[in-house]
Amino acid sequence: MARPPHETSRDYANPYRPLAVRLFNALGRVKPFDLDDLVAAATRSAGHERFASDAFREPLARLIESLHSTAKLSPIGRFMTAQHIAGGLATNLRAGELFTRHGALQDLELARPVMVCGLARSGTTLLQRMLAQLPGARAIPAWEAYDPIPARGQEPGGDPLADPRVKRQRAADKFLRWLSPDLFAVHPMDALAPEEEVLILANLFQSGVPESTYDVSDYAAWLEQQDPTPAYAWLADCMRVLQWQRPGDFWVLKSPHHLEWLDVVFNVFPDVTVIQTHRDPVQTVPSFCSLVAHGWGIMSDAIDPHVVGRHWDRKIDRMLTRALATRDARDGAGFVDVDYRDLLGDPLAVMARVCEAVGLPWDDSIRAKLQVWLANNRQHEHGLHRYAAEDFGLSAEGLASRYGRYRERFDLA
């Protein structure tokens, strides 16, 4: 008899903890972060002080303030956060050293980007990963998204799977599944599968990743008032490094984060095509809140799911409002729309339409390849995601009202 599938918990205030983590949290302590100490340690390890971009300093300082004031980090959360900060600084320093040796890299012309951009939980990952199967596609697998700059001596060419970053990412995936089976079920990680380039932005500490990982409302409010152009310029430079390592005919990008900043996206990537996915926020908002609550639950032992709901309901409304304003200012130019119901109902028909609209390759051999891919990549492979709006102090009626104009505009009700 087959085992029943794993179902995610809705008890967000009491997340699962392996015994080793419970012991670590009971015996450990949470020391404050010091920006100068973190930067000094990173430069000592790198052996130089050439950061590719200095735009990280104020965002990191603001993030540290918020981590201290509201994140309520557990000892394991503090340990993991220290690793994340150190990793971001190390990536920036490696980029600085690489651009010093290969100055022409920053002048490399990027292949045109195709960006999947819709609300989280609206089919963005499925569409991104199907697009990544097309001939000539250059997606960003997780091992590059988390660690986009190669170490010295890793020149272009050779087998990318021999890159030590692949092994490190596979170990990180295994650790995450052990640490939080629920989070892994909601958003499975695969070192070789396409991942969100927002993780590259996170190396400059100017992205939505922190507020998806912790309760850092002060940092998030500050970030909304900043110009993210330096962060997107950093993303473009990292993409040049990746393209230098392994070129492609077009980029496949994806992140709901970009909804908030599509005006900047079009400025930095003027030839981008945005494929915007649409699904009723009555479903997507509580689903994403559940994902966030599981993520916060790794870093803290003090999670209030209603705080998650208040923060992300407002945030998602802001993201949609800004995205639609950019669409309207451009009179829809550069956008292709995909309805989540169509994507799930007939993904190959959607792909055929998208490829025609964007000018991407499509024929019977590609259709057959994707049929096999879909058969081997089914939903809920790692468990069933359970959630409800009420878990986060929300209601279907309230969500329907808040997002009424968006639901009506794209016939999502």
Q: Find the mean pLDDT for residues 383-403.
A: 94
User: With bands split at pLDDT 50, 70 and 90, how would you rate the model's confidence at 377?
Assistant: confident
Q: Does 13 fall in a domain?
A: no
Residue 20 pLDDT greater than 90, yes or no: yes
Element (H, E) at 250: strand 250-254
Q: CA–CA separation, 255 vs 197, rounded Å?
A: 7
HEC-encoded secondary structure of 63-131: HHHHHHHCCCECHHHHHHHHHHHHHHHHHHHHHHHHHHHCHHHHHCCCCEEEEECCCCCCCHHHHHHHH
Q: Is residue 7 part of a domain?
A: no
Cβ pair 200, 208 in contact under 8 A: no
pLDDT digits (tens, 9 = 90+) for 118-172: 999 999 999 999 999 999 999 999 999 999 999 887 878 778 888 999 999 999 9
Domain contains 1: no
pLDDT category at 353 given cuts 50, 70, 90 is very high
For residue 10, being part of any structural domain is answered with no
**Residue 249 DSSP SS3:** coil
The predicted pLDDT at position 383 comes to 67
| Beta carbons of 245 and 135 less than 8 angstroms apart | no
Q: What percent of the chain has pLDDT over 90?
A: 91
Whether the predicted pLDDT of 80 surpasses 90: yes
pLDDT in tens, 28-56: 999 999 999 999 999 999 999 999 999 99
Flag whether pLDDT at 356 surpasses 90. yes
pLDDT, mean over the chain? 95
Give me the CATH number covering residue 233.
3.40.50.300
Residue 324 neighbours by CB distance under 10 Å: 17
Asked if the model's pLDDT at residue 2 lies above 50, the reply is no
Give the pLDDT band of residue 379 (cuts 50, 70, 90).
low
Q: Name the pTM for this structure.
A: 0.95
Expressed as residue numbers, the domain containing 270 is 19-409
Residue 102 pLDDT grade (very low, low, confident, very high; cuts 50, 70, 90)? very high
pLDDT in the model for residue 380:
53
Q: What is the pLDDT of residue 1?
A: 42
Kindly state whether residue 32 falls inside one of the protein's structural domains.
yes
Span 83-95, average pLDDT: 97
Q: Among 98-107, 136-145, 313-322, which is the least confidently predicted range?
A: 98-107
Phi, psi of 194 (to 5 degrees): -55, 140
Residue 274 in any domain: the answer is yes
Closest CA to 123 of 327, 345, 310, 398: 345
List, for residues 178-191, the tens digit of each pLDDT value: 999 999 888 888 99
74 in a structural domain: yes
Total domain count for the chain? Answer: 1
pLDDT tens readout for residues 249-264? 999 999 999 999 999 9
6: in domain: no
> Does the pLDDT of residue 313 top 90, yes or no?
yes
